[in-house]
Amino acid sequence: MENRNMKIILGGCAALAVILLIGLLIALGAVKKTNNKLNEEQLRYEKLMAEKTQADADIAKLKSDLEALNTKLNENGKLLEETNNKLAAAERRARALAGESAALKACRTETEDLKKAKADLESEAASLRSEYDKLMAKSNELQKNNELLEQEKKQLAAKLDELMLFDTDNIMVTAVRGKKTDKPVICAVRTKRINMSFDVPKTLTDDISFRIKTPSGQTVTAESGEIKWNVSFNTANLTASLSPFTGEFEESRQVNLTYTPKEKLTTGVYSIELICRNKTIGNCRIRLR
């Protein structure tokens, strides 16, 4: 009889170990998936930062070109004004020297040359204005693209912070019996409670809640009174933040959940859903025989 009881106990322990191993593998898979997503968002954020840096450099170059064009336009305006003054002086001299054909011819020649120089300067000024307008349009377009990149960068930063915020770790689920001492079991008929513990950042503990789905499809919430939990501080758990904006360390909290059903549990899989701020931040399952 003792050998038979020993075999039953050993078999129960082996099954419990398998269940715990399965739960650990599921938790590790979820953590790995979250880390991969964080890495992808971080790479995208770095790419956007590089594009923004290049856009800033282009804008700085355009501003420098615009300043050079303004300087050249000012110089061109001065030359045009000087030419107009010389042309006016030449016309006055031409009228004064109307009786002297040689002097008049020279003045007319100078006048024509000055008119031609004026036309060339006006043409160059129009070309410079056209180039200035094009550069201004390009500058506005780059500025607009830079603002779009800045908005996308802020959105990605917010998304990265959110992914870092909704994080769980060290999940452990056990089915137990006993009034004073919890004794692990694997059979539904012997299970009195389902215990679950896990670590979360301290900022989540005030808004956390749970839902449990039974094998029959029934959903149990905290309002039923069957689910209770408490939060404890573990000084050994400090979570390093990967956010490029805070650079701080966050203290984690351990959440201990107890599901005490009003009726006897049935054979099958019980799914536990972790909810925070109307978002699911983790799932865990336990199978009872």
| pLDDT tens track for 72-98 | 888 888 888 888 888 888 878 777 766
Name which of 157, 81, 137 is nearest 114 in CA terms: 81
Q: Which residue has the higher pLDDT, 236 or 142?
A: 142
Q: Is residue 6 part of a domain?
A: no
Residue 257: partners with Cβ closer than 8 Å, 6 or more residues away:
195, 196, 197, 210, 227, 228, 229, 272
Band of pLDDT at residue 163, cut at 50, 70 and 90: low
Q: What's 216's domain CATH number?
A: 2.60.40.10
pLDDT tens sequence across 165-206 = 556 667 778 778 877 777 888 787 887 888 888 777 776 666
Specify the higher pLDDT residue, 112 or 230: 112
Rounded CA-CA distance 13/19 in Å is 10
- Note the pLDDT of residue 83: 84
Strand order in the sheet with 193-201: 183-185, 169-177, 193-201, 249-259, 227-240
Q: Which two tokens stand for residue 15?
A: 């099954």
Nearest to 233 by CA among 205, 272, 194: 205
User: Exposed (0-12), middle (13-18) or buried (19+): which is 119, by Cβ within 10 Å?
Assistant: exposed
Q: Kindly state whether residues 178 and 152 are assigned to the same domain.
A: no
In tens, the pLDDT along 50-61 reads 888 888 888 888
Asked whether residue 83 falls in the same domain as residue 52, the answer is yes
Summary mean pLDDT of the chain: 77
The confidence score (pLDDT) of residue 167 equals 60
Q: What is the pLDDT of residue 191?
A: 79
- What is the predicted pLDDT for the residue at 99? 63
**Which residue, 118, 146, 164, sits at the end of a domain?**
164
Confidence (pLDDT) at 243: 42
Residues 188 and 86 in one domain: no
b/e map 80-110, b = 16+ CB within 10 Å: beebeebbeebeebbeeeeeeeeebeebeeb
In-domain check, residue 275:
yes
| pLDDT for position 114 | 87
Q: Is residue 122 part of a domain?
A: yes
Name the domain boundary from 110, 143, 164: 164
Q: What is the CATH number of the domain that holds 120?
A: 1.10.287.1490
- Say whether both 189 and 96 belong to one domain: no
Q: Within 10 A of 251 (CB to CB), how many other CB atoms are there? A: 13
What's the 3-state SS for 154-193? HHHHHHHHHHHHCCCEEEEEEEEECCCCCEEECCHHHCCE
| Whether residues 186 and 261 fall in one domain | yes
Residues 152 and 250 in one domain: no
Residues 195 and 276 in one domain: yes
Question: Has residue 208 been placed in a domain?
Answer: yes
The DSSP H or E segment spanning 14 is helix 2-96
Report yes or no on 17 lying in a domain.
Answer: no
Contacts of 220 (CB under 8 A, 6+ apart): 211, 212, 213, 214, 226, 227, 259, 261
Question: What's the structural domain count of the chain?
Answer: 2
The domain of 157 spans 45-164
Cα R_g (the chain), whole angstroms: 40
Residue 3, pLDDT > 70, answer no
Same domain, yes or no, for 63 and 159? yes
pLDDT band with cut points at 50, 70 and 90 for residue 144 = confident
User: Do residue 110 and residue 190 come from a single domain?
Assistant: no
Do 217 and 198 belong to one domain? yes
Tell me, yes or no, whether 3 lies in a domain: no
> Is the pLDDT assigned to residue 20 strictly greater than 70?
yes
pLDDT surpassing 70 at residue 68: yes
Same domain for 195 and 258?
yes
Judgement on whether residues 136 and 176 belong to the same structural domain of the protein: no
Q: Is the pLDDT of residue 287 over 70?
A: yes
Which of 131, 164, 197 is the endpoint of a domain?
164
180's tokens: 């004073």
pLDDT tens figures, 230-267: 777 765 554 444 444 444 445 677 788 777 888 888 88
Q: What is the pLDDT of residue 39?
A: 78
